[in-house]
Structure 1
Amino acid sequence: MFRELRRNKQILSHGECIEILQNATSGVLAVLGDDDYPYAVPLSFAYDEDRIIFHCAKAGHKLDAILKHEKVSFCVIDKDDVVPHEFTTYFRSVVLFGKAQLIEKEDAKRKATEILCKKYQPTGEGIEEEINKSIDHMQVVQINIEHMSGKEAKELVMRRGTE
Structure 2
Amino acid sequence: MFREMRRKKQVLSIEDSIAVLNNGTSGVLAVSGDNDYPYAVPLSYVYHDRKIFFHCAQTGHKLDAIARNEKVSFCVIDQDNVVPQEYTSYFRSVIVFGKARILNNEDEKRSALEILAAKYSPDHEQGRLQEIEKHFKQVCLVELVIEHMTGKEAIELVKAKHP
Using the size of structure 1 for normalisation, the TM-score is 0.98
Offset at residue 125 of structure 1 (A)? 4.0
Counterpart in the other structure of 2:109: 109
Q: Matched residues in 2 for 1:45 and 1:146: separation? A: 17
Say whether 1:144 aligns with 2:148: no
Counterpart in the other structure of 1:157: 158
Counterpart in the other structure of 1:82: 82
Residue-by-residue CA offset, 1:57-101 (whole Å, 9 max, x unaligned)? 000001100111000000000000000000100000000100001
Say whether 1:122 aligns with 2:122: yes
Say whether 1:73 aligns with 2:73: yes
Counterpart in the other structure of 2:133: 132
Instruction: After TM superposition, list the pairs within 5 Å mapping 1:21-100 onto structure 2.
Output: 21-100=21-100
Q: Matched residues in 1 for 2:116 and 2:140: separation? A: 13
Offset at residue 126 of structure 1 (A)? 0.4
Amino acid at match of 1:54: F
Q: Matched residues in 2 for 1:27 and 1:100: separation? A: 15
Gaps of 5+ in 1: none
Gaps of 5+ in 2: none
- The 3-state SS of whatever aligns with 1:4 is coil
Identity across the alignment (%): 59
- The 3-state SS of whatever aligns with 1:136 is coil
Q: Matched residues in 1 for 2:23 and 2:158: separation? A: 20
More off after superposition, 117-126 vs 49-58: 117-126
- The 3-state SS of whatever aligns with 1:73 is strand
- The 3-state SS of whatever aligns with 1:137 is coil
**Which segments of structure 1 move beyond 2 Å, counting only runs of 4 or more?**
none
- The 3-state SS of whatever aligns with 1:117 is helix
Q: Matched residues in 1 for 2:44 and 2:135: separation? A: 16
Q: Matched residues in 2 for 1:47 and 1:130: separation? A: 21
Q: Matched residues in 2 for 1:4 and 1:76: separation? A: 19
Offset at residue 135 of structure 1 (A)? 1.0
Residue-by-residue CA offset, 1:78-136 (whole Å, 9 max, x unaligned)? 00000000010000000010000111111110010000000000112401100001111
Q: Matched residues in 1 for 2:101 and 2:62: separation? A: 12
Q: Matched residues in 1 for 2:65 and 2:139: separation? A: 16
